[in-house]
Structure 1
Amino acid sequence: MTCGRPFASSIGLCWPALTRDHPRRPLRSRAFGHNRAMMRTANRPLSSSTRLFELPCSERVRTMMRFECLAHRLEALMEETSEHAHLEWLRVQFELYDLLSTRSDIKHELLQELERQRQQLARFQGEPGVALEKLEEVLSQVNHLHERLADAPTRMGPHLAEIDFLTALKGRSSIPAGACPFDMPVLYAWLLRAPEQRQANMHEWLDHLRPILSAARLSLRLIREVADPTSQIAEEGRFEMNPNGRQARLIRVWVESDRELICDMSANKFTVAVRFRTINQLLQPETLSEPVPFQIALCEF
């Protein structure tokens, strides 16, 4: 996935697709565990056959990942120029508004998360082995987004009501085939505009949501990158481990395979369980009989 004008552009971040990781410059810190690399997870070499699976272990992380998922889709669709892609972009935007309506406390949650991460990062200043320049860069990004989010309106959803076109279209979106040309002539007039004009409208309609989307993605980036993966083997596709008291907020699993694998994960304070299965031509899961080498990271930051 390419990022033409990423939501986090103001802090210089561009984000990977959900099934890929891209290299980042490491920040080494003894404080993160005997000179481990904060961002080494994202630096691991991946081939085209590598698959990444993730399991959020808290409601806050799960919500942030939902926002991230919608942001990825919006970015990809916005970069397209076809009418169908931009019509789908509108539908995904309505999903985003629906998600906001169910999480009216999201701004408060994200402010708490950024503040928590800021305090944790600040503890590493002056620690031996820390790449101070990189640490200050990350802290600057966190501070900047915290300020932007604090200045944003408490309730984001009502912005939709200010745009008659979007309000009318959202009302029709719940009706099967409710946005046909004879139902929404204004919509089809908009779709006939030049792609650049439509893209400018889409950027404008998302402006007020960018602080939330950027904050969620930066928080997830830090959670993901302050963790080291370990190599394991799932015998007959199954694996269990004792987290030894570690409270993972997110579990990440990488597997090298040309097969169509799916990964089921579960976690509690006593056990982390991973199960790999393949799918047949009818998209039905099937058990595995052979061992599956993989890597796993318990992200606690």
Structure 2
Amino acid sequence: MTNTITYEFPLNERIRVFIRLEQLFKQFNHFLNGASVWDKRAALNVLLDIMAILSRNDLKSELLKELDRHSKVLNKLSQSQGVDSEKLSQLLNDVGRTSKNLYASSGKIGIHVMESDLFQSIAQRSSIPGGTCSFDLPEFHYWLEQEEAIRLKDLQQWSTPFNDIRNAIDLILNLIRNSRRDTQEIAKAGFFQISLDHSQPYQLVKVSLDKSLRYFAEISGGKHRCTIRFMVPSNDEKRPLQSSDDVPFTLSCCQF
């Protein structure tokens, strides 16, 4: 466990969607490994959230564009002196393999899940608050009471076709986060503003501060300028206020 809290702020919509899906996939894995009925209900709810995002975005195309961009950057780096050629070769292989797997996947992402009558019923009723009670969906209630091996097999079958998407997102975000440039900064009276170089493809800003400091970071802005405010959590119903103290923190600008 680290002694810092890190806040991330994506600088474009593509990375914003990737991070949301990354979080949902992590949640799904967490609940998938739980053995209770409530874990399995939560896992299905998360899977529905993943499908909702995928239905609104041409994610396969966005991922392939991003992987292609990373491949070009990595190939340019291979011509630079002092580069770890073995590590670079491994990264290029990872990007190439991930792209190939995405290209090979056919059809609309997630369409396979709706081939299950049970899943269709759950999806239709989930839009109603409390709409998946046992009297609403007795088949779902029956499924939830089955052996763990049966429930796990079905959830893995429904989620496996999303693996190529998840692997691509994990690879891209890992490359971006590891391309960071860290600087130690001071937010005067809890306020800090940064102007980003327009010629650099910045994708993500990270703010890290010590857990012992009683502030949280509010980040706003876009690809050219970001504003960071350190707020004091409220102990009552009032809105949190910006700190009047100078706040030390680590700023990471990630591009790749």
Fold shared by both chains (TM-score > 0.5) = yes
User: Which moves more between the two structures, 58-67 or 268-277?
Assistant: 268-277
- Distance change >3 Å, CA 92–CA 270, structure 1 → 2: closer
Report the TM-score when normalising by structure 1: 0.79
User: Which moves more between the two structures, 150-159 or 279-288?
Assistant: 279-288
In the alignment, which of 97, 112, 118 is matched to residue 159 of structure 1?
112
Report the TM-score when normalising by structure 2: 0.93
Alignment partner, residue 147 of structure 1: 100
Q: Describe how 1:18-167 pairs up with structure 2 within 5 A.
A: 48-103=2-57, 105-167=58-120
For residues 235 and 220 of structure 1, the distance between their equivalents in structure 2, rounded to whole angstroms, comes to 31
Question: How far does residue 287 in structure 1 lie from its aligned partner after superposition?
Answer: 2.1
Deviations 1:75-117 (A, max 9, x none): 11112111101101101111111111111x1111111111110
Q: Is this contact kept in 1: 2:110–2:161, CA < 8 A?
A: no
**What's the secondary structure of 2:77's corresponding residue?**
coil
Question: In the alignment, does 2:243 pair up with 1:288?
Answer: yes
Letter in structure 2 aligned against 1:300: Q
Alignment partner, residue 175 of structure 1: 128
Letter in structure 2 aligned against 1:287: Q
For residues 120 and 146 of structure 2, the distance between their equivalents in structure 1, rounded to whole angstroms, comes to 20
Q: Which runs of 5+ in 1 are unaligned?
A: 1-46
In the alignment, which of 136, 139, 144 is matched to residue 191 of structure 1?
144
Question: How far does residue 199 in structure 1 lie from its aligned partner after superposition?
Answer: 2.0
- Distance change >3 Å, CA 81–CA 145, structure 1 → 2: same
Question: How far does residue 292 in structure 1 lie from its aligned partner after superposition?
Answer: 1.2
Question: How far does residue 154 in structure 1 lie from its aligned partner after superposition?
Answer: 4.0
**Alignment coverage as a number of residue pairs:** 254
**What's the secondary structure of 1:276's corresponding residue?**
strand
Letter in structure 2 aligned against 1:178: G
Letter in structure 1 aligned against 2:93: S
**What's the secondary structure of 1:179's corresponding residue?**
coil
Question: How far does residue 282 in structure 1 lie from its aligned partner after superposition?
Answer: 3.8
Question: How far does residue 244 in structure 1 lie from its aligned partner after superposition?
Answer: 3.8
RMSD: 1.7
**What's the secondary structure of 2:142's corresponding residue?**
helix
In the alignment, which of 191, 215, 223 is matched to residue 168 of structure 2?
215
Deviations 1:212-269 (A, max 9, x none): 1211121111111111211101112111123243442111111113355321112346
Q: Which runs of 5+ in 2 are unaligned?
A: none
**What's the secondary structure of 1:134's corresponding residue?**
helix
